[in-house]
């Protein structure tokens, strides 16, 4: 089925709303689908096939980028791999570690060979680069994938030129940006409608007290957002690994002590804010001088989520203005309480 027909069928079924900005992209998606439908010419002396030109689709949160990519993935008949970008990089690191354990000098090469042997079309959701190690790995890996004829489609919240912006040794990453722009069509999905907000429309996002009723309500929200399909996510931050217990398609879930009970810092929380568009955070305790370090990390976490416009759904021992009422840092916490209140608004995070 053509992409235009598949989109029209979903509109007719009431699964999505027709959107003129999305519809303008459909011929581009159909070009990729049709190109991948062509048989690959093989022969002993034939070089690797030229990949069908891919797509770098960027735009604001909730504009339908992932939905459109999934529409394409569903109609492509060629061998395909579809991954959230951070989950893909987690797999790449694991494969590279196994290659090094076997004594392989160039650990990226066997990763590329594994991918090329199994797929012709690689689809990424929410490409973000926040670590210099990932920046260098992804550049070399994509060079080998393109050379082998793999077609890549990726979504992102930012244009290619803003990837790894202000990152350490970013000049080393610039050739990869040039490679993306050379191999992929860059397309901004500039819809004014945030469809992801619709999943949370009218939904309570701050639950107190933190009791059985709150846990049940949050579980219902999580199931609605993810369909119950989750896996842990490993973020690579400055050579360290930070585990998020549950993650699916930009939705993350953790308990307070997973993120604030461990010695994490601003870089870790910024990486989380890059990876997740919604965070479900459970079991926020009463804060005081007894858990000052945890409270300080919580302030840093909320700052990162706030600046990253991440939607927050949480359960807590008290309402925001009563979470931290005595002890060192309680006065400074007033700004955090104010942000927590602001983040409960349905309008928050739309820009």
- Write the pLDDT tens digit of every residue in 57-68: 998 777 888 889
Measure the CA–CA gap between 76 and 216, rounded to whole angstroms: 38
Domain count for the chain, please give it.
Answer: 2
Binned at pLDDT 50, 70 and 90, residue 30 comes out as very high
Examine the pLDDT at 207 and tell me if it is beyond 60: yes
Q: For the sheet with 121-125, list strands across it.
A: 80-84, 121-125, 151-156, 54-58, 184-188
In which domain, by residue range, is 147 found? 3-188
The whole-number pLDDT of residue 145 equals 93
Whether residues 283 and 333 share a domain: the answer is yes
Judged by average pLDDT, the poorest of 66-75, 244-253, 326-335 is 326-335
Whether residues 89 and 161 share a domain: the answer is yes
Higher pLDDT, 290 or 46: 290
**Which of 290, 245, 239 is closest to 272 using CA atoms?**
245
What digits encode the pLDDT tens for the residues 279-314?
999 999 999 888 989 999 999 999 999 988 899 999
Examine the pLDDT at 45 and tell me if it is beyond 50: no
Whether residues 183 and 200 share a domain: the answer is no
Give me the count of residues in the chain.
351
* Domain-terminating residue out of 188, 221, 239: 188
Whether residues 27 and 162 share a domain: the answer is yes
| Alpha helices, H only, the chain | 3-12, 20-37, 65-75, 85-101, 108-118, 132-147, 174-183, 196-200, 212-226, 256-259, 266-275, 292-307, 333-342
Look at residue 350 and tell me if it is in a domain.
Answer: no
What digits encode the pLDDT tens for the residues 328-343?
777 788 889 999 999 9
DSSP state letters, 54-106:
EEEEE-STTSSHHHHHHHHHHH--S-EEEEEHHHHHHHHHHHHHHHHHTT-S-
Judged by average pLDDT, the poorest of 168-177, 323-332, 335-344 is 323-332
Measure the CA–CA gap between 182 and 184, rounded to whole angstroms: 6
Whether residues 119 and 173 share a domain: the answer is yes
* Domain-terminating residue out of 135, 153, 188: 188
Whether residues 129 and 223 share a domain: the answer is no
Give the CATH number, domain containing residue 273. Answer: 3.40.50
The whole-number pLDDT of residue 240 equals 83
Whether residues 148 and 203 share a domain: the answer is no
Rounded to the nearest 10 degrees, the angle between the axes of helix 132-147 and helix 85-101 is 90
* Domain-terminating residue out of 169, 188, 207: 188
Give the CATH number, domain containing residue 44. Answer: 3.40.50.300
The whole-number pLDDT of residue 31 equals 96
Can you give the pTM of this predicted structure? 0.69
Whether residues 155 and 200 share a domain: the answer is no
Whether residues 338 and 261 share a domain: the answer is yes
Examine the pLDDT at 193 and tell me if it is beyond 70: no
Look at residue 53 and tell me if it is in a domain.
Answer: yes
Look at residue 349 and tell me if it is in a domain.
Answer: no
Whether residues 65 and 163 share a domain: the answer is yes
Look at residue 347 and tell me if it is in a domain.
Answer: no
Look at residue 226 and tell me if it is in a domain.
Answer: yes
Whether residues 37 and 170 share a domain: the answer is yes
Whether residues 145 and 210 share a domain: the answer is no
């Amino acid at each position: 089925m053509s992409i235009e027909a598949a989109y029209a069928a979903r509109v007719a079924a009431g699964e999505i709303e027709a959107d003129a900005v999305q519809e303008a992209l459909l011929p581009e998606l159909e070009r990729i689908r049709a190109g991948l439908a062509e048989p690959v010419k093989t022969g002993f002396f034939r070089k690797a096939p030229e990949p069908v030109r891919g797509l770098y689709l960027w735009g604001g949160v909730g504009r339908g980028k992932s939905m459109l990519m999934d529409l394409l993935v569903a109609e492509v008949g060629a061998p395909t791999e579809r991954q959230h970008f951070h989950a893909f990089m987690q797999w790449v690191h694991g494969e590279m570690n196994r290659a090094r354990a076997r004594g392989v000098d160039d650990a990226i090469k066997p990763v590329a060979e594994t991918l090329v042997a199994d797929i012709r079309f690689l689809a990424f959701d929410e490409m973000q680069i926040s670590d210099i190690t990932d920046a260098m790995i992804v550049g070399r890996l994509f060079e080998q994938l393109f050379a082998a004829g793999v077609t890549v489609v990726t979504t992102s919240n930012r244009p290619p030129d803003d990837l790894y912006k202000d990152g350490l040794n970013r000049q080393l990453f610039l050739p990869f940006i040039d490679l993306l722009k050379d191999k992929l069509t860059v397309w901004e999905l500039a819809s004014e409608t945030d469809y992801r907000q619709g999943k949370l429309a009218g939904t309570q996002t701050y639950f107190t007290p933190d009791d059985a009723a709150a846990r049940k309500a949050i579980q219902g929200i999580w199931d609605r957002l993810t369909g119950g399909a989750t896996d842990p996510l490993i973020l690579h931050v400055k050579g360290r690994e930070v585990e998020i217990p549950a993650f699916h398609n930009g939705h993350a879930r953790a308990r307070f002590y997973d993120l604030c009970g461990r010695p994490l810092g601003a870089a870790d929380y910024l990486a989380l804010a890059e990876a997740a568009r919604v965070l479900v955070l459970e079991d926020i305790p009463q804060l005081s001088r007894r858990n000052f370090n945890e409270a300080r990390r919580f302030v840093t976490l909320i700052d990162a989520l706030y600046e990253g416009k991440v939607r927050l759904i949480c359960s807590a021992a008290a309402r925001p203005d009563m979470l931290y009422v005595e002890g060192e840092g309680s006065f400074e916490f007033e700004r955090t309480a104010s942000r927590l209140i602001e983040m409960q608004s349905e309008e928050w995070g739309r820009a």
